[in-house]
Amino acid sequence: MTGSMNRRRFLAAAASLSAGAMVLAACSGGDDAGGGGDAPDGPVELRMVMWSANEGHHEIFNQIADAYIAENPDLVSAVSFEPLTGSGYVNALTTQIAGGDAPDLAWVSEANAAQFVQSGVLYNLQPTFSETEGYEIDDLLDGAIDVWSADGEIYGYPFSNSPFGVYVNNDLLAAAGQPNPRDLMASGEWTWDTAMEIAAAVADGTSTTGFQPSDDPFTNWNSALGAMWMSWGAAPWSEDGTECTFDSPEMVEFFDWFHSQIYDTGAVAEPGAEFDFASGQVGLRLSQLSSSTGLGDDFAWDFVPMPDGPAGTVPVVGQGGVGVVARGDNPQVAADFLAYFTNPENSALLAQFFPPPRESLLTVETLSAAAPALTEEQIQGTVIDQALVGVTKVGHVNMSEIADPVRVGLDALWVPEGDAATVMPAICEAISDSLAG
Amino acid sequence: MTAEPLGATDRKVGRTTGRRSGSSKRLARIDAAVGLSFAAPAVIGVLVLGLVPFGYVIWYSLHDWSPLIGEFNWIGLDNFTRLIADDTVWSSFLTTFKYAALLMVLNITLALGLAVLLNQKLRGTTTFRAFFFSPVIVSAVAWVLVWNYLVAANGGINGALATIGIQGPNWLRDPTWALVTVVVIQVFKGVGMNMILFLAALQNVPAELKEAARIDGARPSRVFRSITLPLISPTILLVVMITTIGAMDVFVPIQILTQGGPGRSTTVISYLLYRTAFEQQDFGYASAIGVVLFVVVLVLAALQWSSRKRWVHDEV
């Protein structure tokens, strides 16, 4: 199938489908060979798509790109950074790729990494990284590139390797007469159970909520709960991704516990309720370093490591990666640019906003620039110490097929009478074919 | 006076008619050319932006197409065979019909009621009309986002209900209420347009007919039923058809408010189509769903159109 045909097919279908299979554009055109590995005749323009429209991010990206162009005027004439914001980022990216309008480089989250790597969307970066002088590939943290690798080759670089921690509204906890989490950490009592006891007390009789996961658990289950169930030693599927383990005792126990925090203790808000930590409406919120940028002095807050669960202490990181799209026009040039974009010097620049996967850059000094609102103690204890040993949140090669059936299945749990022991096996039944591939 | 042979007159007339006929044809051709030039953009638009893509959709529906992997394989009618056995598709169609039926009843009843009210010579009708029409010109996304906060479990509506001692339901997370809530939000969004259409129709009902009925002793309800309704029935047909077609491909409120949940209680067919195509990247199967949706809408529209002879005034 030629790139041109790809483009015509896709654009026509996309237009038609989105309008209920009746009306919209079928514009086509352009001979998009794509995926060429041949050397271009002259300098090319590169395009990177991302989910960030942050001006500070783009300023750094442009600074790095300008330096690269100055050093390689025969290779690249311009680099554009195209934000695709909103919850439909992956859809928009895959739509561009499918439509023969593939970007040269793209951000991908850890949840979709396996799918993008295994389906051949991403270009093999190993040769370029290995041949780039001073790249220091051994500086990358153990495990940080696991989900970006296949058969010993690297297909993406996790420019953001950010541990999950718990933001604490100290004022709300104090008003509810609850202990400070740091005191509980010191006494070894900082567990998910005590955290939820605190959260329930905060929410009791007030217009606030006690605990808020990192995303809406009722619509984005993996993003919201994926970092938590690891503390139960639970996982949604086997390591090779072929067997469903939603019905494992650990997973059932976790979901039973989480269900009781909503409907028995009231520690977690029921589905459909809206609260905002930055507005002082939440006692405890699971999130990452980047959330500190929206916090001011309106209330006293802290950022502490995740509590211990039945499986002990399990630090978890969420990753944002960047890879070269194999079907882009100039993957080899894009790989060379990416090697420059993520070399030690430029990783230090990127670390102004994103916790880096390079051990040498995991310092309080570096990360203070990324999160000026955080104290040294918070950066060291909640970010650096956790990043050094953190495991990456899971994804799956068929994530796009699995996500919706699981959401639908979990909706049977998100009612007062919901029973995890009944719901979890039903979810396994619904996704077993997708897991088997 | 000598009578001129009939044939001669006929021939004269014929020659005269022939000259006029030639001129008329030229004028007709010019008229046609002018008319076509006006219609061409719309016709070309429909062809290029409507029919051609739809032809592609039919073609794609006969293929297994996973664009992320780059596969595009002919599978004949397999997607339609799969669709027939897919309970999710049929439950989504059922949800769509429920949505459309509820929307139609509420929208048309409310629009007609408001139009009748605004057709009276009362103070403040202009303000009232603007109040109900303003949502029509508000961005659909903005409208739904605002309502998303209002109908949240701890949102404005439940807050207001709580002040009078009523605990409101979890509007968007309760399977019983979710679809109804979406419908009501959409009714308020679109009722203004239908209200204006009905108002225009009501203002065209001849006053003398109603006056005559009243003189004959008809009460207001009888006048409305026997005079007004038949005379505005063409507008009712129009509103029913555009409301039905609009309801069958509803997408924005579902995507923003419920994402098809809880469970699949608000998964309408166009939303399932979107998820199948753009989230699961199964474009061939999504195209098959699109083709079936097109046929269903076409049949519904045809049924409504063909039924007009029974109840639409002045239709033959």
Residue of B nearest to A416 (CA): B174
Residue of B nearest to A95 (CA): B278
Measured CA to CA, the distance from residue A150 to residue A397 in angstroms comes to 12
| Alpha helical stretches, state H, B119-177 | 125-133, 140-150, 156-163
pLDDT of B98 strictly over 80: yes
Is there a single domain that holds both residue A300 and residue A174?
Answer: yes
A149 sits in which H/E element:
strand A149-150
The partner residue sitting opposite B56, judged by closest CB among A12, A275, A404, is: A12
pLDDT of B148 strictly over 80: yes
Is there a single domain that holds both residue A284 and residue A157?
Answer: no
Check: CB of residue A183 under 8 Å from CB of residue A194.
no
Token pair recorded at residue B5:
């042979």
pLDDT value, residue B120 = 86
- Cβ-based neighbour number of residue A343 at 10 Å: 18
SS3 content of chain B, % helix, strand, coil (to 5): 75, 5, 25
Measured CA to CA, the distance from residue A214 to residue A227 in angstroms comes to 9
pLDDT value, residue B19 = 55
Is there a single domain that holds both residue A92 and residue A190?
Answer: no
Q: Residue B278 — very low, low, confident or very high, per pLDDT cuts 50/70/90? A: confident
Q: Do B280 and A400 touch (CB under 8 A)?
A: yes
Residue of A nearest to B264 (CA): A408
Question: Which phi-psi region, left, alpha or beta, contains residue A282 (left: φ > 0; alpha: ψ -120 to 50)?
Answer: beta
**β-strand A316-324 against A391-392: which pairing, if any?**
parallel
Measured CA to CA, the distance from residue A103 to residue A423 in angstroms comes to 40
Sort out which chain B residues have CB atoms less than 8 A from A269's CB and list them: 153-154
Token pair recorded at residue A82:
């195209």
Sort out which chain B residues have CB atoms less than 8 A from A270's CB and list them: 153, 170, 173
Q: Do B279 and A404 touch (CB under 8 A)?
A: yes
The partner residue sitting opposite B173, judged by closest CB among A17, A24, A271, is: A271
Sort out which chain A residues have CB atoms less than 8 A from B263's CB and list them: 408, 411-412
Is there a single domain that holds both residue A258 and residue A347?
Answer: no
CA distances from A383 to A46, A109, A211, A352 (A): 33, 19, 20, 14
Residues of chain A with pLDDT under 50: 1-36
Strand ranges for B239-308 from DSSP E: none
Smallest CA–CA separation between A144 and chain B, in Å?
25
Is there a single domain that holds both residue A362 and residue A213?
Answer: no
Q: Do B154 and A275 touch (CB under 8 A)?
A: yes
- Cβ-based neighbour number of residue A271 at 10 Å: 21
Token pair recorded at residue A358:
């390079």
Measured CA to CA, the distance from residue A408 to residue B238 in angstroms comes to 37
Measured CA to CA, the distance from residue A283 to residue A209 in angstroms comes to 6
DSSP bridge pairs for A47: A80
Bond before B262 cis per omega within 30 degrees: yes
Strand ranges for A84-130 from DSSP E: 105-109
Rounded to two decimals, the pTM is 0.81
| pLDDT tens digits for range B117-146 | 998 888 888 888 888 899 999 999 999 999
Phi/psi at A367 (5° precision): -75, -15
pLDDT value, residue B266 = 96
pLDDT value, residue A23 = 33
pLDDT value, residue A100 = 83
Q: Do B170 and A400 touch (CB under 8 A)?
A: no
Sort out which chain B residues have CB atoms less than 8 A from A275's CB and list them: 154
Greater confidence (B11 vs A295) lies with: A295
pLDDT value, residue A95 = 84
Q: Residue B281 — very low, low, confident or very high, per pLDDT cuts 50/70/90? A: confident
Residue of A nearest to B284 (CA): A13
| Alpha helical stretches, state H, A342-419 | 344-350, 364-370, 376-378, 385-389, 399-410
pLDDT of B233 strictly over 60: yes
Q: Residue B273 — very low, low, confident or very high, per pLDDT cuts 50/70/90? A: very high
pLDDT value, residue A7 = 45
pLDDT value, residue A18 = 42
Domain contains A34: no
Phi/psi at B176 (5° precision): -75, -35
pLDDT value, residue A15 = 43
Check: CB of residue A158 under 8 Å from CB of residue A178.
no
Smallest CA–CA separation between A288 and chain B, in Å?
25
Which residue, chain included where needed, has tokens 């479990």? Answer: B153
Phi/psi at A209 (5° precision): -120, 155
The partner residue sitting opposite A26, judged by closest CB among B56, B170, B290, is: B56
pLDDT value, residue A20 = 41
Q: What is the dihedral of CA A67, A68, A71, A76, to 10 degrees?
A: -130
The partner residue sitting opposite B60, judged by closest CB among A9, A271, A408, is: A9
Residue of A nearest to B248 (CA): A20
pLDDT value, residue A206 = 87
Domain contains A260: yes
Query: Percentage of residues in chain B with pLDDT exceeding 70?
Result: 92
Q: Do B153 and A97 touch (CB under 8 A)?
A: no
Total tally of structural domains belonging to chain A: 2
Residue of B nearest to A10 (CA): B67
pLDDT value, residue A3 = 43
Residue closest to A156 by CA, chosen among A124, A186, A120: A124
Mean pLDDT of chain B: 89
Q: Do B49 and A25 touch (CB under 8 A)?
A: yes
Is there a single domain that holds both residue A129 and residue A149?
Answer: yes
Token pair recorded at residue B119:
């057709």
Residue of B nearest to A9 (CA): B56
| Length of chain A (residues) | 437
Domain contains A361: yes
Is there a single domain that holds both residue A152 and residue A250?
Answer: no
Domain final position from A375, A392, A409: A392
Q: Do A411 and B261 touch (CB under 8 A)?
A: yes
Domain contains A32: no
Q: Do B68 and A407 touch (CB under 8 A)?
A: no
The partner residue sitting opposite B294, judged by closest CB among A22, A269, A274, is: A22
Strand ranges for B3-151 from DSSP E: 63-66, 71-74
Residue of B nearest to A398 (CA): B280
Sort out which chain B residues have CB atoms less than 8 A from A120's CB and list them: 69-70
Exposure class string for A11-25: b at 16+ Cβ within 10 A, else e: bbbbbbbbbbbbbbb
Residue closest to A82 by CA, chosen among A110, A101, A109: A101
End-to-end Cα separation, chain B, in angstroms: 52
A238-242 long-range contacts (CB < 8 A, ≥24 apart) are: A241/A114, A241/A396, A241/A397, A241/A398, A241/A435, A242/A435, A242/A436, A242/A437
| Alpha helical stretches, state H, A269-398 | 331-341, 344-350, 364-370, 376-378, 385-389
pLDDT value, residue B307 = 87
Is there a single domain that holds both residue A210 and residue A296?
Answer: yes
DSSP bridge pairs for A157: A322
Q: Do B53 and A24 touch (CB under 8 A)?
A: yes
Sort out which chain A residues have CB atoms less than 8 A from B72's CB and list them: 1, 9
Its domain, for residue A66, covers: 3-27+41-163+318-392
Sort out which chain A residues have CB atoms less than 8 A from B279's CB and list them: 91, 400, 403-404
Size of interface A-B (CB pairs under 8 A): 155
Domain final position from A392, A407, A427: A392
Check: CB of residue A334 under 8 Å from CB of residue A316.
no
Q: Do A274 and B154 touch (CB under 8 A)?
A: yes
Is there a single domain that holds both residue A176 and residue A299?
Answer: yes
Is there a single domain that holds both residue A353 and residue A407?
Answer: no
Domain contains A189: yes
Check: CB of residue A156 under 8 Å from CB of residue A166.
no
Domain contains A36: no
Q: Do B290 and A219 touch (CB under 8 A)?
A: no
Exposure class string for B85-108: b at 16+ Cβ within 10 A, else e: ebebbebbbebbbbbbebbbebbb
pLDDT value, residue A384 = 94
Domain contains A109: yes
Residue of B nearest to A401 (CA): B280
Measured CA to CA, the distance from residue B21 to residue B48 in angstroms comes to 37
The partner residue sitting opposite A20, judged by closest CB among B72, B149, B293, is: B293
Domain contains A279: yes
Exposure class string for B277-303: b at 16+ Cβ within 10 A, else e: bbbbbbbbbbbbbbbbbbeebeebbee
Q: What is the ipTM of this complex?
A: 0.78
End-to-end Cα separation, chain A, in angstroms: 23
Domain final position from A392, A408, A425: A392
Is there a single domain that holds both residue A191 and residue A215?
Answer: yes
CATH number for position A413? 3.40.190.10
pLDDT value, residue A38 = 57
Which residue, chain included where needed, has tokens 């603007």? Answer: B130
Sort out which chain B residues have CB atoms less than 8 A from A403's CB and list them: 279
Token pair recorded at residue B295:
């046929």
Three-state SS string across A229-290, please? HHHHCCCCECCCCCCECCCCHHHHHHHHHHHHHHHCCCCECCCCCCCCHHHCCEEEEEECHH
- Cβ-based neighbour number of residue B123 at 10 Å: 7
Residue closest to A317 by CA, chosen among A188, A169, A148, A192: A148
Is there a single domain that holds both residue A13 and residue A143?
Answer: yes
B21 sits in which H/E element:
helix B6-46
